[in-house]
Amino acid sequence: MIDPRAFAVLATDIAVLTCYGAELKVLLTKAHSKNFKGEPVLPGGLVEFSERTDEAAKRILGDVLKSTVFYTEQLYTFDDPDRDPAGRVVSVAYIMLIPWKDAVRVIKSGASWHSVKDLPRLAYDHNEIIKLAVKRLVGKITYTNIIFNLMPEEFTLTELQDNYEIILGRKLDKRNFRKKLNSLNLLRKLPRRKEGEANRPAHLFSFRQKSIRELAIL
Amino acid sequence: MIDPRAFAVLATDIAVLTCYGAELKVLLTKAHSKNFKGEPVLPGGLVEFSERTDEAAKRILGDVLKSTVFYTEQLYTFDDPDRDPAGRVVSVAYIMLIPWKDAVRVIKSGASWHSVKDLPRLAYDHNEIIKLAVKRLVGKITYTNIIFNLMPEEFTLTELQDNYEIILGRKLDKRNFRKKLNSLNLLRKLPRRKEGEANRPAHLFSFRQKSIRELAIL
DNA sequence: TCAAAAGTGTTCCAAATACACCCATGA
DNA sequence: TCATGGGTGTATTTGGAACACTTTTGA
């Protein structure tokens, strides 16, 4: 049944990213494997026989998230023969983006969020995976509307701008930001405001379409 | 020796791209496998036990190119369980860029060049791989200097512009193109010209640095 | 009334675009 | 001398960047 030419174990590791508290955060768990037991790692696991790697990624995260509707994108395949001392494990890494609102639930599962700027040393090549994931995200938010995957259904313009600033790592001009977004017509202004803060209530917005489109945002 | 959890055969397929005759071309060979014998496919093959997939890609193309110094970049991993009727074969696909001057040699090896705009139906998911490879290349030439991998050591500005136009699929303004390149300072003007044409000889240029850099070209 | 964030326009500058003619060579 | 591609500059438009004050609310 198994092809005699098969020697590699197929795995997936997922860089789950979210924005919160002025930081881009990644989800870390503890390794189960003999060699790295208890060390911090990305969530991941083995791919099953009749499963695509993206299905595996969603299945594995499903244990933690109780839901698999989040944006998932293949990142890169890590295949150095020595990346796992236990044997030849080829990992197809994924990025998953989730809004903070949903991210919060995860905390009870033993996994936890860490700022991508202040990471411990992770097992395997997982620091490298995260570095690449962040680079991909930073690149993509400048020429796509991918950021909607990190936003809740309704949000204020300031919240949106905050997330851009967190990911880009620089401040944006409020007026220019709003002018640009207005011209792109990506958002729908809701007939509602975010009340209850000790300041003027902000209008709430939602994305007109929730599909990835290419466009020059910044 | 082989991990009992290993079930997937690890392979690589390579989209080798070059510009010539006003077309972006990809290298095709004939399939050897039982199911698709003789049908057109991308060059590719199985990865060996102690080999990275990029090494495998270069090794496999080495048979055809007698050289492995060309630009190689991981593209995407194709892992549908049904992509190969012979079994579970996971292919880590690569892009390779080669200047036409070097591409010519390949023709004697049974492989041949085909315009990416006029491809036959290929075996496996190879049409999809090429589509993605072209998309990646088109994207990257707008924000990197990656195109140097498709140019010979010395070239004229018109030849460079031609390659941009081929890949982007649109005409560029000659004066604006030269102005922009000049301001980027990417090129070195050689004290030599391309003689022997039935027109005014063009200055020859070479790239100052042959390493990928990010910069807004177009 | 105060603190805190929301919301809003104009000016300036840099870069992209559009555009046409003379030059040097080989045939 | 003719056909062919090489080489060059300016004017206009467009978009990005800089910048500060008034408004609305809860405490």
pLDDT digit string, tens, across residues B184-208: 999 999 999 999 999 999 999 999 9
Instruction: Spell out where chain B has E strands.
Output: 9-20, 23-30, 40-41, 44-46, 71-78, 89-97, 112-115, 187-194, 202-207
Span of A27-36, A54-63, A83-92, B60-69 with lowest mean pLDDT: B60-69
Q: How confident is the model at residue B24 (pLDDT cuts 50, 70, 90)?
A: very high
pLDDT per residue as tens digits for the range A114-134: 999 999 999 999 999 999 999
Whether A35 has a pLDDT exceeding 70, the answer reads: yes
Whether B64 has a pLDDT exceeding 90, the answer reads: no
pLDDT of residue A161: 98
Q: Distance from residue B2 (CA) to nucleotide C17 (C1'), in Å?
A: 61
- 8 A C-beta contact, residue B70 and residue B96: yes
Q: How confident is the model at residue B107 (pLDDT cuts 50, 70, 90)?
A: low
pLDDT of residue B155: 98
Backbone angles phi, psi at B162, to 5 degrees: -55, -45
pTM of the model: 0.96
Q: Distance from residue B178 (CA) to nucleotide C25 (C1'), in Å?
A: 22
- Residues 189-218 of chain B in contact with strand C via CB under 7 angstroms: 195-201, 216, 218
pLDDT of residue A63: 76
Q: How confident is the model at residue A62 (pLDDT cuts 50, 70, 90)?
A: confident
Whether A204 has a pLDDT exceeding 70, the answer reads: yes
Q: How confident is the model at residue B218 (pLDDT cuts 50, 70, 90)?
A: confident
> Is strand D in 7 Å reach of the CB of B199?
yes
Could you identify the residue written with the tokens 């945002």?
Answer: A217
pLDDT of residue B108: 60
The one-letter amino acid code at B58 reads K
CA distance B1 to chain A (A): 9
pLDDT of residue B211: 96
Q: How far apart are CA A35 and CA A124, in angstroms?
A: 10
- 8 A C-beta contact, residue B22 and residue B102: no
Whether B2 has a pLDDT exceeding 90, the answer reads: no
pLDDT of residue A69: 85
Whether A167 has a pLDDT exceeding 70, the answer reads: yes
Q: Distance from residue B176 (CA) to nucleotide D19 (C1'), in Å?
A: 32
Where b means 16+ CB within 10 Å and e means fewer, B174-207 reads eeebeeebeeeebbeeeeeeeeeeeeeeeebbeb
> Is strand C in 7 Å reach of the CB of A28?
no
Pick out the nucleotide with least CA–C1' distance to B183: C15
Whether B116 has a pLDDT exceeding 70, the answer reads: yes
Q: How far apart are CA A65 and CA A216, in angstroms?
A: 32
B133 secondary structure, DSSP code: H
pLDDT of residue A151: 98
Q: Which residue is nearest to nucleotide C23 (CA to C1')?
A: B200
Q: How far apart are CA B181 and CA A86, in angstroms?
A: 50
pLDDT per residue as tens digits for the range A63-77: 777 776 899 999 999
| Half-sphere exposure at residue B2, Cβ-oriented, CA atoms within 13 angstroms | 16
The terminus-to-terminus CA distance of chain A in angstroms comes to 52
Chain B touched by A216 (CB under 8 Å)? no
Chain B touched by A46 (CB under 8 Å)? yes
When CB atoms are compared, the residue of A8, A47, A86 closest to B10 is A8
> Is strand C in 7 Å reach of the CB of A203?
yes
Kindly state the average pLDDT of the residues B22-35.
Answer: 95
Q: How far apart are CA A149 and CA A156, in angstroms?
A: 15
pLDDT of residue B69: 84
The terminus-to-terminus CA distance of chain B in angstroms comes to 52
Closest by CA to A128, choosing from A91, A163, A87, A85, is A91
Q: Which residues pair with A72 in a beta bridge?
A: A96
CA distances from A32 to A9, A45, A47, A59, A125 (A): 16, 10, 16, 17, 16
Residue B48: how many other CB atoms lie within 10 Å = 14
Instruction: Spell out where B132-182 has E strands.
Output: none
Whether A108 has a pLDDT exceeding 70, the answer reads: no
Whether A186 has a pLDDT exceeding 80, the answer reads: yes
- Per-residue DSSP letters for A55-92? HHHHHHHHHHHS---SEEEEEEEE--TTSSTTS-EEEE
pLDDT per residue as tens digits for the range B30-57: 999 999 999 999 999 999 999 999 999 9
B18 secondary structure, DSSP code: E
Whether B67 has a pLDDT exceeding 90, the answer reads: no
- Per-residue DSSP letters for B59-89? HHHHHHHS---SEEEEEEEE--TTSSTTS-E
Q: Which residues pair with B205 in a beta bridge?
A: B155, B189
Q: How confident is the model at residue B68 (pLDDT cuts 50, 70, 90)?
A: low
Whether A139 has a pLDDT exceeding 90, the answer reads: yes
**Which two three-digit tokens encode residue B188?**
């070195």
Mean pLDDT of chain B: 95
When CB atoms are compared, the residue of A2, A51, A88 closest to B49 is A88
